[in-house]
Amino acid sequence: MRIGYSFWGFLGNGITDTPDGGRSHRRPFIDALRDRGHEVVFLQANRDLLEAGDDLGGAYVFDNGLPEIDVLFLEWRWLISGRNTSACGTEGHTCDLHRQGELLMHYAVRRGTPTVIWDKDRTLRIDSIWRRAPRTAVCEAALALSPGAHRLLFPVDDRLLDQADPLALAATPRDLDLGYVGNQYDRDHHFDRYFAPAAAHVAHQVGGKWPRTERWPQVRFLGRIPFPQAHELYSRSLATVLMLPERYSAVGQMTQRIFEAVLAGCLPLAPADIRHVEQFVPAELIVSSDREVIERLAFLRQIAGGQQHAELIAACLDHLDLFRLSRQVDAVESVLSTLVASSAERGAA
């Protein structure tokens, strides 16, 4: 199939001053689709080239027009006041939402092109017309799905999982007990309850955009860091805390932070209020309070570098099988096949 793919972010390392969690999994996902014989053309602006000066080796096709495609695939964009809701050409404007509207109108509405919406940020309203539109499928990165939605988790490359060496990761010297990379967006509850109290007692660092930090003077915030430095920080950290917005934790939607941490040998402590948390981490790493975070960190420091530490990392890697790239590509191909077959049947009728 020729897939018209819309996303607002980067395939490469991009730039520092931007939120885009998709950088850790988008390119492997696209490359896996191409390896299975699909052709992919990107339909939003080439931010890698325009903002980061990276031509990605000329390996990908971007088209700002309306090319012929078999399927429209959208990483769903939503209204962000002051950014994509302003007039085109005004200061600070990004045209991702306008472009998405243009794509939907041309392909989904006028041409009846099969359309997949990947609601990665859980911003597609439950009463959205796109959940009921013909030849349209909604995918969610959660374990507890909205009615009618399909599961498409954030993928982790099979090769990275298969090559990870728990013994080598356990042996890596770690000068931080606690580390975190990610932005503040709606994570204050988990941060207040689990991370900040523990940070007062252990060596730690937090990378990402946290504009409101006054009530946590004990926490060392680094600000936004370049994308490659996320791996470096996790490689220095014994553990992290998987902090989620409530709209994620309520449905068991785990972000890419879990495999960014585990692949660096950083053990993920998971709040017990995350739905289906037992599917994401071993029972030993589920925590219910700041006291339990502190206790777990003390225990992990005791076993650091030894066999028990390596076994915990291995158990975390086993849990990541849920996110395995090949599984996610199987899932999306199933959705695509059903959509295209349904569209063909309607056309024949």
Mean pLDDT of the chain: 94
- Rounded CA gap, 124 and 74, in Å? 12
Look-up: residue for tokens 């068991």? 252
Q: List, edge to edge, every strand of the sheet that includes 221-223.
A: 221-223, 204-207, 176-181, 237-241, 267-271, 286-287
Q: Is 183 helix (H, G, I), strand (E, B) or coil?
A: coil
Look-up: residue for tokens 């650091």? 304
User: Does the structure show a pLDDT above 70 at 348?
Assistant: no
**pLDDT score for 341:** 79
The domain segmentation of the chain, as residue ranges, is 2-155+324-348, 158-323
Question: pLDDT band for position 91 (50/70/90)?
Answer: confident
Tens of pLDDT, residue by residue over 41-85, are: 999 999 999 999 999 999 999 999 999 999 999 999 988 787 778
- Rounded CA gap, 9 and 181, in Å? 18
User: Does the structure show a pLDDT above 80 at 343?
Assistant: no
Tens of pLDDT, residue by residue over 113-172, are: 999 999 999 999 999 999 999 999 999 999 999 999 999 999 999 999 999 999 999 999
The percentage of residues in the chain with a pLDDT greater than 70, rounded to a whole number, is: 97
Fold that domain 158-323 belongs to in CATH: Rossmann fold (3.40.50)
Q: Which two tokens stand for residue 313?
A: 């990392």
The torsion angles phi and psi of 61, rounded to 5 degrees, stand at: -110, 125
- Contacts (Cβ under 8 Å, ≥6 apart) of 1: 38, 39, 70, 71, 336, 340
User: Does the structure show a pLDDT above 90 at 342?
Assistant: no
What is the average per-residue pLDDT within 21-49?
94
User: Does the structure show a pLDDT above 60 at 349?
Assistant: no
**pLDDT score for 19:** 61
The residue type found at 174 is: R
Question: pLDDT band for position 187 (50/70/90)?
Answer: very high
Q: Is residue 71 within 8 Å of 114, Cβ to Cβ?
A: yes
What is the average per-residue pLDDT within 309-318?
98
| CATH architecture designation of domain 2-155+324-348 | 3-Layer(aba) Sandwich (3.40)
Q: Is 336 helix (H, G, I), strand (E, B) or coil?
A: helix
User: Does the structure show a pLDDT above 70 at 345?
Assistant: no
User: Does the structure show a pLDDT above 70 at 278?
Assistant: yes
Q: Is residue 226 within 8 Å of 252, Cβ to Cβ?
A: no
